[in-house]
Structure 1
Amino acid sequence: MHVMRNLQGAALFYAAPMDGLRFAFGTLTVLPTRITRWDRETARAGMLWAPLAGLVVGLCSAALGGAFLLLGSGPLLAAVVSAAVPSLMTRGLHLDGLADTADGLGSAKPAEDALRIMKQSDIGPFGVIVLLFVLFAQVAALYRLYGEGWAQGAVAAALAATVARLALTHASRTGIPAARPEGLGAMVASTVPPRPAALTTALVLLACAGAGALFSPYDALRHVLAAGAGLGVAAWLLRRCVRRFGGVTGDVFGAVEEVAGTVALMGLTLGVL
Structure 2
Amino acid sequence: MAGEPLGGEADWPGRGLLHDLAACLRFYSRLPVPRLLGEPEPHAAPDFRTAPRMLPLAGLILALPPALILIAGWRIGLGPFVAATLAVAVGVLLTGALHEDGLADVADGFGGGATPERRLEIMRDSRIGAYGGVALVLALALRIGALATLLDRTGIAAAVAMVLAAVLSRVAALAPMVMLRPVRPEGLSAAVGRPGTATLAVAVGSGLILALLTLPFGVPFLGIVGMVALALAAALAVTRIARAKIGGQTGDVVGACQQLAEIGALLGLLTVV
Write the mapping of 1:12-161 to structure 2, written as runs, cut at 5 A: 16-33=16-33, 34=35, 36=42, 38=44, 42-161=47-166
Query: Does the Cα contact within 8 Å between 1:183 and 1:249 map onto a contact in 2?
Result: yes
Q: Which amino acid aligns with 1:211?
A: T
Query: Does the Cα contact within 8 Å between 1:101 and 1:118 map onto a contact in 2?
Result: yes
Query: Does the Cα contact within 8 Å between 1:19 and 1:37 map onto a contact in 2?
Result: no
Change (3 A) 1:265 1:117: same
Deviation, structure 1 residue 39 = 6.4
Aligned to 1:246: 247
1:83-124 Cα offsets, whole Å, 9 max, x none, are 112211111121011011011111242111110101111111
Change (3 A) 1:18 1:183: farther
Aligned to 2:218: 215
1:15-58 Cα offsets, whole Å, 9 max, x none, are 82233122211110111124527467x33222222222111111
Q: Percent identity?
A: 32
Deviation, structure 1 residue 153 = 1.3
Aligned to 1:266: 267
Query: Does the Cα contact within 8 Å between 1:185 and 1:250 map onto a contact in 2?
Result: yes
- Cα distance in 2, alignment partners of residues 232 and 20 from structure 1: 27
Aligned to 1:11: none
Q: Are residues 1:203 and 2:209 paired?
A: no
1:164-218 Cα offsets, whole Å, 9 max, x none, are 2112333332x521111123212234x21234313321321232122034337xx
Gaps of 5+ in 2: 1-13, 36-40
Q: Which amino acid aligns with 1:196?
A: T
The structure 1 residue matched to 2:195, chosen from 192, 196, 202, is 192
Q: Secondary structure at the match of 1:16?
A: helix
Q: Secondary structure at the match of 1:178?
A: coil
- Cα distance in 1, alignment partners of residues 15 and 186 from structure 2: 25
Deviation, structure 1 residue 81 = 1.0
- Cα distance in 1, alignment partners of residues 90 and 173 from structure 2: 19
- Cα distance in 2, alignment partners of residues 154 and 188 from structure 1: 32
Structure in which a larger fraction of residues adopt helix: 1
Aligned to 1:180: 184
Name the stretch that deviates more: 198-207 or 106-115. 198-207
Gaps of 5+ in 1: 1-13
What TM-score, normalized to structure 1? 0.85
Q: Secondary structure at the match of 1:172?
A: helix
Query: Does the Cα contact within 8 Å between 1:21 and 1:45 map onto a contact in 2?
Result: no
Name the stretch that deviates more: 22-31 or 48-57. 48-57
Q: Secondary structure at the match of 2:156?
A: helix
Query: Does the Cα contact within 8 Å between 1:172 and 1:188 map onto a contact in 2?
Result: no
What TM-score, normalized to structure 2? 0.85
Q: Which amino acid aligns with 1:225?
A: G
Query: Does the Cα contact within 8 Å between 1:205 and 1:224 map onto a contact in 2?
Result: no
Name the stretch that deviates more: 90-99 or 44-53. 44-53
Query: Does the Cα contact within 8 Å between 2:109 and 2:119 map onto a contact in 1?
Result: yes
Query: RMSD in angstroms over aligned alpha carbons?
Result: 2.1
Query: Does the Cα contact within 8 Å between 1:178 and 1:247 map onto a contact in 2?
Result: yes
